[in-house]
Structure 1
Amino acid sequence: MAWDDLRYVLAVADQGTLSGAARALGVNHSTVMRRISAFESKKGVQVFDRTGGGYLLTPEARHLLAPLRAIDDQVNALDRSIARLGLELDGPVRITTSDTIALASLAGHVADFQSRHKGTNVELNINNSYVDFKKMEADITVRPANALPPDLVGQHACDILLHVYATPSYLEGNRRNSYSAHRWLGVAPPLTATMVGEWERRNIPDSAITLRSNSFVGLRGVAETGLGLALLPCCLGDPSPNLIRADCFPEALSTSIWVATHKDMIGSVKVQSVMSWFVQAIGKDANLFEGRWSEPVRQSTSQKNLARMDGA
């Protein structure tokens, strides 16, 4: 019995629909339907009941679920072991991070890393959703979290601080310090599951939220138009020439930035080396992430001309 057939059965059982299984497997809806029908025909058994709400395992087939999950875990563990061997020799390193960290810091460090290590190719996956390391969707993650989940191991690079930001013109016209008296720009899934989502649910009524986004980069862009207040990472809010911190809401949130990998991958010399490099690189940006950023001094045209004259 081929595992390739069984993984279709497991995906449909987990997702409950053909379309959900297709998304999880990265294939077409029709492919899932064809593979399930072929499996049932070949084995001479009906595995799923077709209902108006989707596909359900038949009572007789429900006992298959536990061994299917066990096989899935074993296959994924084998994939990680093979990948670990490959990474020690050659090949790409897949790094996943959020758009906030990528824009503020990581993209520049990736470019620097590539220029210094020609033999290693970095695949940078920018995604604000959870990445499943069991499915080998990434080798290294750079993510904010209070603590790492049990299946990940890594190093703390620095902290990341968040404040409330708005344009000066918005704050001049809205000086009240009541949450409900303002227009707020809120988070959408998957960010609603973060500490920012929890803070919003505690403090801001739904009626006060004018717009939601699944991206802090997107929220910053909207906040820069003057539409309302947004709780943003300082690494996005402080460098913006159009935003200032809202003193009427001085509270700040903070968490940690981790550079981590799956515990089965930590034996890879290459993964360890790449992780250590990025921990040090991101650590150099601690002032930016932790709210101590100061704008670089910009020379005026006259200063630049004087510098040229002095060097002549």
Structure 2
Amino acid sequence: MINWDDYRLILAIARARGLPGAANSLKVTLSTVFRRLERIEETLSTRLFDRMRGSYEPTDSGFELIRAAERMEHEALSADRIIAGRDQQLTGLLRVTVTDALSVSFLSRHIPSFHVKHPGINVEILSDDHLLNLAGREADIALRPRRPAEETLVARRIATIHWGIYASHETCKSLGKIQDLVSLDGQKFISWSGGSASIFIDKIIPTTHCPISSSSLTTNAELAAHSDLLVLLPCLMGSQWRSLSPVIAPLPGPVGELWVATHEDMRRNARVKALFDYLVLAAEADKDRFEGTA
């Protein structure tokens, strides 16, 4: 007979397709995972994983236990969310998953005042472009630059995100007044490899050179601040970056959206509701910043 911790171990190995990733997710040593898997297989008298070129592939018996573990995990998480959703105390931990750019340019200005209003709530900002799973209780609230696709989430669009072209103060002075995008023909840009917004620039400006690129908008902003290169940024971000000035902002091109979301089981949780409503009002207050008209 195996217990829930054993099922969790099997599920972790399957998801990581190996022992190192499982050990990392379970926060135990590699040798612990190895020994526990050996014990489980010995108890069941069957092999659960085939070792193939460094990865662990489930056997038929392994698949059966993995499916059972997934069902158990789903039920446990569901019960956890339902109980947490009934919590009406404005105290405790509240986790927010958000992209690094939104964390820097939006949350960092509003969370301190939220803490003043609700000193009993401890806010943990999980700043990463890999958005965490709300159903799995990896976070309680998500700020996402696109509409969430998960049917179990309650979401609200709170802002329209406009973009602009920015450069260091010195570079802006040397460029002079720019009338339109075509005037930037031949200029050097920092490319954002983490999204499709740069494609718009390539279509409008006849010739652009991108000698530097990164997957981080915050990195791109700092690169522009320390060089003569131009950078495409959300207006909310570019307008408040101290070392940058607008070349053209807002751009006439496509705009994005900002959504705040939580799991439907958590929408009545007092902490979640307090921050959810607060972020809606914060985005309304920042409307001009998001649209580049501030």
What TM-score, normalized to structure 2?
A: 0.82
Say which SS state the counterpart of residue 121 (structure 2) adopts: coil
Report the CA distance between 1:265 and its aligned residue.
0.9
The total of aligned residue pairs comes to: 287
Partner of 2:80: 79
Q: CA separation in 2, counterparts of 1:201 and 1:53?
A: 42
Say which SS state the counterpart of residue 155 (structure 2) adopts: strand
The match for 1:183 among 180, 188, 205 is 188
Mean CA deviation greater in 144-153 or 7-16: 144-153
Q: CA separation in 2, counterparts of 1:105 and 1:62?
A: 44
Report the CA distance between 1:54 and its aligned residue.
0.9
Equivalent residues in 2 for 1:1-312, closer than 5 Å: 1-86=2-87, 88=89, 90-167=91-168, 170=171, 172=174, 177=182, 181-188=186-193, 192=194, 194-196=195-197, 208-247=209-248, 250-293=251-294
Unaligned runs of 5+ in 1: 294-312
Report the CA distance between 1:75 and its aligned residue.
1.8
CA contact (8 A) 1:259 1:275 kept: yes
Q: CA separation in 2, counterparts of 1:224 and 1:147?
A: 33
Change (3 A) 1:92 1:39: same
Percent identity reads 28
Say which SS state the counterpart of residue 63 (structure 2) adopts: helix
Q: CA RMSD in A?
A: 3.2
Change (3 A) 1:249 1:154: closer
Q: CA separation in 1, counterparts of 2:148 and 2:190?
A: 27
Q: CA separation in 2, counterparts of 1:278 and 1:150?
A: 21
Q: CA separation in 2, counterparts of 1:61 and 1:203?
A: 54
Report the CA distance between 1:232 and its aligned residue.
0.8
CA contact (8 A) 1:47 1:58 kept: yes
Q: CA separation in 2, counterparts of 1:30 and 1:84?
A: 38
Say which SS state the counterpart of residue 137 (structure 1) adopts: coil
* One-letter code aligned to 2:163: L
Deviations 1:174-228 (A, max 9, x none): 999599944332334xxx3x44377589899xx9543333321111000112252
Q: CA separation in 1, counterparts of 2:263 and 2:118?
A: 23
Structure number with higher helix proportion:
1
Q: CA separation in 1, counterparts of 2:163 and 2:260?
A: 19
Mean CA deviation greater in 26-35 or 264-273: 26-35
CA contact (8 A) 2:198 2:232 kept: no
Deviations 1:64-117 (A, max 9, x none): 333332222112212222332346464222222223222223223211111122
* One-letter code aligned to 1:274: L
Unaligned runs of 5+ in 2: none
Say which SS state the counterpart of residue 101 (structure 1) adopts: helix
